[in-house]
Amino acid sequence: MATNGHFAAVGDQPTAEDFGHGIQVIDEDKSFTTHLNEYLRETHVAEAGFNYHLISVFGSQSTGKSTLLNHLFGTEFSVMSESERRQTTKGIWMSKNKKGAGSMADNILVMDVEGTDGRERGEDQDFERKSALFALATSEVLIVNIWEHQVGLYQGANMGLLKTVFEVNLQLFLKDRQSTPRSLLFFVIRDFIGNTPLSNLRNTLVQDLTKIWSSISKPAGLESATIEDYFDFAFAALPHKILQPDKFVTEVDTLGRRFVAGHRSTTDQEFVGGVFLPEYHRRIPADGFSVYAEGVWDQIVNNKDLDLPTQQELLAQFRCDEISREALVAFDETILPLEEQQAEGVRLGRAVVLAGLGAAGAASRASCLEQFQAQAGRYHKGVYTRKLAELEGKVDTRLKTLYQGQLAGAHKAGVASFTEAVTAAVKTGQKAGGNYEFADIVETEKAKTLETFKTEAQGLAIPEVAWTNFKPQYVLFEKELDEVSAKLRKEEMRRLATRVERWVKSRLGDAVGLEFNKLGSGRAGGGASDEPSSSSSGTANGGVPSEKDLWDRIWNVFVDIVKEAQERFTERAKSFDASDVEVQVGLWRLRRKSWVALREKIDEEVMEGNILLKLRENFEDKFRYDEAGVPRIWRPSDDIEGIYTRARESTLALIPLLSRFRLAATIAPPDLPEWIGNQPAGVEPEDEDDLTPIGGVDEEEGKSLEEEMTVLSESKRQDLVIRFKKTADGVYVEAKRGALGGITQ
């Protein structure tokens, strides 16, 4: 590998060894190195922030500049060998101070600028100007190396150089009036003999500088600017290195001790401490220096107007973007797998709740932003603020999506677990005998579920970050739980209604069956005929009810059963917090369903075979038994025909009675519409799907109350009469035969 900071080929990674002589920042072809940042990293300057310093050295060729720097800073810049005497330093070199740890400031970077005899060579004059501009744009301290015997030689090469420096400086700071950074011109007078005191030399130099300053043409607006507006001056003298080598070394050491931080005394404006005043610093963060220096050089070498504020802004943009990308790497490491996990869950339709998301998100966000703030905060304020907001936006957009997904998952999971828990508790309660409190179950489970959601939402909250307040999502979740509760309660109501309906059916089955069975006993009230012997009161004739008030009894028992059922329903429904409307609707449905159940039971009772059997029993009872209930033994003398006719007519009279549901008192159907009542407001149409239409109640069904109350249609009735008569005839014939048989016996 090549040495001296030259690298054999692009891509060769330089090693510490390659940097032994520092780095050639700008070569003889005026191109900028591609390795400056590596050098700054290698020497640990890159991580120093603002805690570094830049010094450049100026002066004629072969005036011992490199020699001075090497002694002062322990650098290894090439120096002219005593015997050859030709120019060695080409372009601009840079090296970090290797000396005086503790006695000098940290991280001093020294630039050794190719010396010129610019007065003679046109080409060099161009480089002199460009390197001066570059040094001024970057350096805090410019060491001007000058022989003692040159002091006062106003026409000397050094003075030409200084004129260039002043002109260039004005050009530079014309663009940057806000900050107008100052520089220190540090004159080091070489081969100082000591005959003329340093203070005299200093006065001569200051006079010469003032003369040069007044000779240069100043841009508009800066006509009255003084040299002191831009420069401070410091002076030092060194003995002849070859003639007084020991003294030279001691003096150089003394000089070295001045390269520490200092400030201006308030009384005489003299330096206190060292030469590095804060105001000289160009405020380019060390990790951005290489980008900045290259940008500056690019402008200079292409003869563009050098605008430092613009350069600093460009640098800030470049570095802020770079730092932002770096900061996002660690963020991605944590967040990307979480995003993928969530996306996978969503793809599979699962409710994903990632464990520890809030902590991971908050920590990643904080460390990402902190990393950016720590590194980018040194750059141009405006750019930094904008880029910080950009980064925050990026991070927050990602977290927002993630967090909203998380809460959507928690929402979904919460609704599911709530439904599951309530259903399970109801099941357990049913198994244990049905004595559970639905409202309590809902309340307990809702509180539990809400708490879980709240914990999740609060876990995502980052104080001071407004968008991480998920109260609205919480409110929404609670609303949904209430909706789910209402649905579950409705289902519970349905279950209750079914249970109560079943109970009603079973009770009706018994009670109505009993009433119809009584028809089989014909002695009951002597039929429905208007014979005086029969009674219209239900309990005449030894407590056996009359057939005439069959429907009254059925209606009364029906109303009683439903009343009890309604009480049970109401009590239970209240226990699970059903609203009044819900209860009213439930009761209305119960009354309807009960009526339908009653109608079905009646239909079952009057089914052909059933009713025929009952009529036959009724008839036989009247025919075969006498008034005292004693079975008749037919004798030929008996008026079999008369008894038969009466019994038959009496039973036949039951058929019209059975045909219509009528109350005895009014000879009219019960007021079913009144009893069922109006449909309560709040019944949703889908609730009615399972309701059988009832004549006279649901008028739009086109069936009248009269029709609803018709138990046997006209044709059925006639049919029944014929069949009954046949049955009765059979019985009569049999009785007649029996009577004759009795004689033959």
In whole angstroms, how close is the CB of 35 to ligand GDP at the nearest point? 23
Residue type, 212: I
Q: Counting contacts by CB under 6 A, is residue 4 touching ligand GDP?
A: no
Q: Counting contacts by CB under 6 A, is residue 88 touching ligand GDP?
A: yes
Q: Counting contacts by CB under 6 A, is residue 380 touching ligand GDP?
A: no
Q: Which is nearer to ligand GDP, 240 or 412 (CB)?
A: 240
Taking the C-alpha atoms of residue 598 and residue 604, their distance in angstroms, rounded to an integer, is 10
| Positions that interact with Mg ion (CB under 5 A) | 65-66, 89
* Cβ pair 161, 127 in contact under 8 A: no
* Cβ pair 278, 293 in contact under 8 A: no
Q: Which is nearer to Mg ion, 6 or 660 (CB)?
A: 6
* Cβ pair 76, 21 in contact under 8 A: yes
Q: Which is nearer to Mg ion, 114 or 549 (CB)?
A: 114
| 147 contact partners, CB below 8 Å, separation of at least 6 | 63, 189, 190, 191
Q: Which is nearer to ligand GDP, 80 or 739 (CB)?
A: 80
Q: Counting contacts by CB under 6 A, is residue 67 touching ligand GDP?
A: yes
> Measured between alpha carbons, how far is residue 567 from residues 590, 631, 638, 733 in Å?
11, 47, 57, 54
Q: Which is nearer to ligand GDP, 115 or 405 (CB)?
A: 115
Q: Counting contacts by CB under 6 A, is residue 242 touching ligand GDP?
A: yes
Q: Which is nearer to Mg ion, 65 or 591 (CB)?
A: 65
Nearest to 92 by CA among 5, 199, 190, 180: 5
Q: Counting contacts by CB under 6 A, is residue 244 touching ligand GDP?
A: no
| Pairing mode of beta strands 53-58, 108-113 | parallel
In whole angstroms, how close is the CB of 188 to Mg ion at the nearest point? 14
Taking the C-alpha atoms of residue 365 and residue 665, their distance in angstroms, rounded to an integer, is 86
Q: Counting contacts by CB under 6 A, is residue 662 touching ligand GDP?
A: no
Q: Which is nearer to ligand GDP, 63 or 299 (CB)?
A: 63
Helices and strands, counts by H and E, the chain: 20, 9
In whole angstroms, how close is the CB of 100 to ligand GDP at the nearest point? 20
With CB under 6 A as the contact rule, the residue among 89, 97, 566, 584 that binds ligand GDP is 89
Length of the chain: 745
Q: Counting contacts by CB under 6 A, is residue 414 touching ligand GDP?
A: no
Q: Which is nearer to ligand GDP, 14 or 64 (CB)?
A: 64
* Cβ pair 357, 459 in contact under 8 A: yes
- Copy the structure tokens of residue 238: 């060194």
Options 219-227, 235-243, 254-262, 598-606: segment touching ligand GDP (CB under 6 A): 235-243
Residue type, 286: A
Residue type, 686: E
In whole angstroms, how close is the CB of 84 to Mg ion at the nearest point? 13
* Cβ pair 159, 128 in contact under 8 A: no
Options 58-66, 318-326, 389-397, 539-547: segment touching ligand GDP (CB under 6 A): 58-66
In whole angstroms, how close is the CB of 334 to ligand GDP at the nearest point? 54
Q: Which is nearer to ligand GDP, 88 or 419 (CB)?
A: 88
Options 80-88, 95-103, 194-202, 564-572: segment touching ligand GDP (CB under 6 A): 80-88
β-strand partners of 147: 190
Q: Which is nearer to ligand GDP, 148 or 167 (CB)?
A: 148
Judge residue 738's burial from the number of C-beta atoms within 10 Å of its C-beta, 0-12 exposed, 13-18 middle, 19 or more buried.
Answer: middle
Binding mask of the shown chain, residues 178 to 207, with x at each position contacting ligand GDP by CB under 6 A: ------------xx----------------
Q: Counting contacts by CB under 6 A, is residue 71 touching ligand GDP?
A: no
Beta strands in 562-701 (DSSP E): none
With CB under 6 A as the contact rule, the residue among 48, 76, 79, 281 that binds ligand GDP is 79
In whole angstroms, how close is the CB of 3 to Mg ion at the nearest point? 17
DSSP 223: T
* Exposure b/e, 561-582, CB count within 10 A at least 16 = b: bbeebbebbbebbeebebeeeb
In whole angstroms, how close is the CB of 88 to Mg ion at the nearest point? 5
Q: Counting contacts by CB under 6 A, is residue 21 touching ligand GDP?
A: no
Options 234-242, 249-257, 547-555, 696-704: segment touching ligand GDP (CB under 6 A): 234-242
In whole angstroms, how close is the CB of 56 to ligand GDP at the nearest point? 13
Q: Counting contacts by CB under 6 A, is residue 128 touching ligand GDP?
A: no
How far from chain centre, in Å, is Cα 239? 73
Rule CB under 6 A: which of 105-124 touch ligand GDP?
115
Q: Which is nearer to Mg ion, 113 or 315 (CB)?
A: 113
In whole angstroms, how close is the CB of 314 to ligand GDP at the nearest point? 33
Options 64-72, 308-316, 374-382, 668-676: segment touching ligand GDP (CB under 6 A): 64-72
Instruction: Looking at 61-121, list the stretches that DSSP marks H as alpha helix, in order from N- to C-terminal side.
Output: 65-73
Nearest to 252 by CA among 188, 202, 201, 187: 188
Q: Counting contacts by CB under 6 A, is residue 63 touching ligand GDP?
A: yes
Q: Counting contacts by CB under 6 A, is residue 61 touching ligand GDP?
A: yes
Q: Which is nearer to ligand GDP, 190 or 446 (CB)?
A: 190
Taking the C-alpha atoms of residue 53 and residue 284, their distance in angstroms, rounded to an integer, is 10
In whole angstroms, how close is the CB of 89 to Mg ion at the nearest point? 3
Taking the C-alpha atoms of residue 309 and residue 284, their distance in angstroms, rounded to an integer, is 11
- Copy the structure tokens of residue 200: 């005299």
| 614 contact partners, CB below 8 Å, separation of at least 6 | 516, 517, 519, 520
Interface with ligand GDP (CB under 6 A), residue total 18
Q: Which is nearer to Mg ion, 60 or 566 (CB)?
A: 60
Q: Which is nearer to ligand GDP, 60 or 584 (CB)?
A: 60
Binds 82: which of Mg ion, ligand GDP, none (CB < 5-8 Å by kind)? ligand GDP
> Measured between alpha carbons, how far is residue 15 from residues 22, 341, 449, 678 in Å?
11, 43, 62, 97
Taking the C-alpha atoms of residue 595 and residue 604, their distance in angstroms, rounded to an integer, is 14
In whole angstroms, how close is the CB of 118 to ligand GDP at the nearest point? 14
Options 65-73, 430-438, 459-467, 675-683: segment touching ligand GDP (CB under 6 A): 65-73
| 283 contact partners, CB below 8 Å, separation of at least 6 | 50, 181, 312, 378
In whole angstroms, how close is the CB of 138 to ligand GDP at the nearest point? 20
In whole angstroms, how close is the CB of 13 to ligand GDP at the nearest point? 30
With CB under 6 A as the contact rule, the residue among 53, 96, 241, 592 that binds ligand GDP is 241
Q: Counting contacts by CB under 6 A, is residue 22 touching ligand GDP?
A: no
Taking the C-alpha atoms of residue 487 and residue 489, their distance in angstroms, rounded to an integer, is 5
Taking the C-alpha atoms of residue 55 and residue 41, their distance in angstroms, rounded to an integer, is 19
Phi, psi of 668 (to 5 degrees): -140, 160
Phi, psi of 237 (to 5 degrees): -130, 140
| 426 contact partners, CB below 8 Å, separation of at least 6 | 436, 438, 441, 492
Taking the C-alpha atoms of residue 409 and residue 407, their distance in angstroms, rounded to an integer, is 5
In whole angstroms, how close is the CB of 22 to Mg ion at the nearest point? 12
| Pairing mode of beta strands 262-264, 271-273 | antiparallel
Interface contacts to ligand GDP, rule CB under 6 A? 61-67, 79-80, 82, 88-89, 115, 190-191, 240-242
